[in-house]
A and B are shown apart, each in its own frame.
Chain A
Amino acid sequence: MSATIASVAPRNNTGLYRRRRITNAVAIVLACAAALFGLAFLGWILWTLLAKGLAHLNLALLTQDQPPPLEAGGLRNAIVGSLMMCGMGVLVGAPLGIAAGTWLAEYGHRSKLGTTVRFVNDILLSAPSIVLGLFVYAAFIMQTGGNFSAFGGALALAFIVLPVVVRTTDEMLRLVPVQMREAALSLGVPQWKVTMQVLYRSALPGIITGILLAIARISGETAPLLFTAFGNEFFSLDPSSAMSALPLVMYKFAGSGYENWEQLAWSGALLVTLFVLAISLIARTVLLRNKIAND
């Protein structure tokens, strides 16, 4: 096509056309190279994870506690600790997040305070997680006598859950058509009932997606747990004492130099990654179904 244009155009323009075509070709080649480069590294990481983690994925991981160096064992205490702390974190963070998100969407939508809260929430959303760990250490652990506890770990995780849930709740409630609110209000239903029984029902899949995304985010978090939950070599269900978590054990074991510890670290890494990927995929399908239902 460009050949026919070039033959019609004045002679001194052929150089320009050629230059443009070459620039375009170079850019496309570079873009393909960039995509290949990025995907190759990410593929390499996943491959390493599978190659090192899959070999030692067995039932003992779930039934035995973490071993001393060079002995057989599993990750039961860490898995239970992770589940407990993530669960508590969500139980604290999600209701608060839903409430704050509802206020943003329903009451403070265009107010100055609303804009500020939304802005601050967005910053909290991408704040470094280690900072939240330090915050909980300084504001909770230090004030309660300096003992590391699973409560502290869960609190740090709750601060990661909170902004994610606020954001999605806010966005999802704003997608609910105004007519629904007006129809309900015109029937004399009080505002809080409109919110609880009409808006939440309509936005439920979106809010659940937000909570799932938050779970995916906290289940691999290490930094905020380092000096809140601290880790524990033994099985513990007591949330007021130090507790183990999968990422904490991975951090301790990975660089240890003991072969069995490193294998456990890789198995744990694979477990966490599979869990995170599964949760994100479920979150996507929940949201997708909702979109289709609304269309």
Chain B
Amino acid sequence: MNAAVISALPNDRKDTRNDARFRWLLTAAALFVLVSLAGAALSMLWGGRSVLASEGLNFFFSTDWNPVENKYGALVPIYGTVVTAIIAMLIAVPVSFGIAFFLTEVAPRWMRAPVGTAIELLAGIPSIIYGMWGFFVLMPVMRESMIPWLDEHVGPLPIIGALFRGPPIGAGMLTSGIVLSIMVIPFIASVMREVFMTVPARLKESAYALGATKWEVSWDIVLPYTRSAVIGGVFLGLGRALGETMAVAFVIGNSVNFTTSLLEPSTTIAALIANDFGEATEEYRAALLLLGFVLFIVTFIVLALARLMLNKLARKEGN
């Protein structure tokens, strides 16, 4: 230290220079984050430009996906991606809310922390495990009992019946939706739980003091306070469900033929890419890259909305 003070002058200049260098280094790293996201989008668009030029809007509205004849109409995988994600959300959101409500208000105190931790750990299990489980355990169950039952009892109904008719194959959008929902439940539930715990205790206690029930506190106090963040958490889960590859690739059936039935094999963007990219021709790869770009844009919008919603609550907390 003393030595540094004595030789202050030359060191000063060196320090200033080093400081500037250090700062530039860090700034470059931060800019790299920006560049990588833009690069991801642009490189896929660039890779798929030939197909975009030859197919135009047909790419989004045609169901004719035939790599042999170089025809690429991506409506089936796009439709499959959206439908499986919707099924997953229909199951996962109420269940996750139930779990979060249970863990913050209902469960006995000694139970809350361990179960909460367990759910957070489960959210980290690789998605391929869910896919393998779906393939070996859920698909036989669907094939043998669930699908025949749905086909017999729901299939004859008007309008919605068309969704539930089909041969008992086991692979399809319904099975994929169920596997996806199980995968995102721990994820959404842990976000909701964390968000619910940010509600100031005095708000909840005031309501309890006025005689409100647990349900009323959750529904009328906690939920309105955290609404934007809860929606943000749901959108984060939706983003995961839309872009999930491995959990779906095992159980979707990989068929590019259009079907209205949730019980028949179909495909999603991510599953189609995962299955076909390795053996694809150059032109086909371009089509899959373009499809990847579409997936990227869709998830980007969903995730951007999610972040905006989550940031709203953070601002309310004063961070």
Q: Does B44 belong to the interface (CB within 8 Å)?
A: yes
Please measure, in the bound complex, the distance between the C-alpha atom of A230 and the C-alpha atom of B304, giving whole angstroms. 31
Smallest beta-carbon distance A20→chain B, Å:
6
Cross-chain contact A128 with B96 (CB below 8 angstroms): no
Q: A131-B243, A163-B33 are in contact. Are A21 and B22 (CB under 8 A)?
A: no
Please measure, in the bound complex, the distance between the C-alpha atom of A113 and the C-alpha atom of B250, giving whole angstroms. 41
Cross-chain contact A123 with B300 (CB below 8 angstroms): yes
For A38, give its contact among B124, B186, B245 (CB under 8 Å).
B186
Q: A131-B243, A190-B15 are in contact. Are A120 and B37 (CB under 8 A)?
A: yes
Cross-chain contact B33 with A49 (CB below 8 angstroms): no
Q: Does B67 belong to the interface (CB within 8 Å)?
A: no
Smallest beta-carbon distance A44→chain B, Å:
7
B30 CB contacts on chain A under 8 angstroms: 99-100, 103-104, 108, 113-114, 117
Cross-chain contact A166 with B22 (CB below 8 angstroms): no
Task: Determine the interface band of chain B, counting residues with CB < 8 A from chain A.
Answer: 35 or more
Q: Does A154 belong to the interface (CB within 8 Å)?
A: no
Q: Does B208 belong to the interface (CB within 8 Å)?
A: no
Chain A interface residue count, Cβ-Cβ cutoff 8 angstroms = 91
Q: Does B156 belong to the interface (CB within 8 Å)?
A: no
Q: Does B132 belong to the interface (CB within 8 Å)?
A: yes
Contact with A along B271-292 (1 / 0, CB 8 A): 0011001100000000011001
Cross-chain contact A162 with B246 (CB below 8 angstroms): no
Please measure, in the bound complex, the distance between the C-alpha atom of A30 and the C-alpha atom of B161, giving whole angstroms. 28
Q: A23-B215, A247-B128, A273-B125 are in contact. Are A128 and B46 (CB under 8 A)?
A: no
Please measure, in the bound complex, the distance between the C-alpha atom of A99 and the C-alpha atom of B121, giving whole angstroms. 28
Smallest beta-carbon distance A52→chain B, Å:
8
Q: Does B106 belong to the interface (CB within 8 Å)?
A: yes
- Further pairs besides A27-B219, A42-B119: 7, Cβ < 8 Å: A5-B211, A119-B304, A127-B296, A128-B243, A250-B128, A254-B250, A255-B135
24 pairs, CB–CB < 8 Å, chain A vs chain B: A34-B94, A37-B95, A38-B98, A38-B119, A38-B182, A42-B186, A45-B129, A96-B29, A97-B29, A99-B26, A102-B26, A104-B30, A107-B26, A116-B34, A120-B37, A123-B307, A126-B306, A128-B270, A131-B40, A135-B43, A137-B289, A188-B4, A220-B129, A254-B250
| A residues lining the B interface (CB < 8 Å) | 5, 20-21, 23-24, 27-28, 30-35, 37-39, 41-42, 44-45, 48-49, 52, 96-97, 99-100, 102-104, 106-108, 113-114, 116-117, 119-124, 126-132, 134-135, 137-139, 142, 159, 162-163, 166, 188, 190-193, 195, 216-217, 219-223, 226-227, 230, 247, 250-251, 254-255, 265-266, 269, 272-273, 276-277, 280-281, 284
| B residues lining the A interface (CB < 8 Å) | 4-5, 15-16, 18-19, 21-23, 25-34, 36-37, 39-40, 43-44, 46-47, 94-99, 101-103, 106-107, 115, 117-119, 121-122, 124-133, 135-137, 182, 185-186, 189, 211, 213-216, 218-219, 236, 239-240, 242-246, 249-250, 270, 273-274, 277-278, 288-289, 292, 295-296, 299-300, 303-304, 306-307
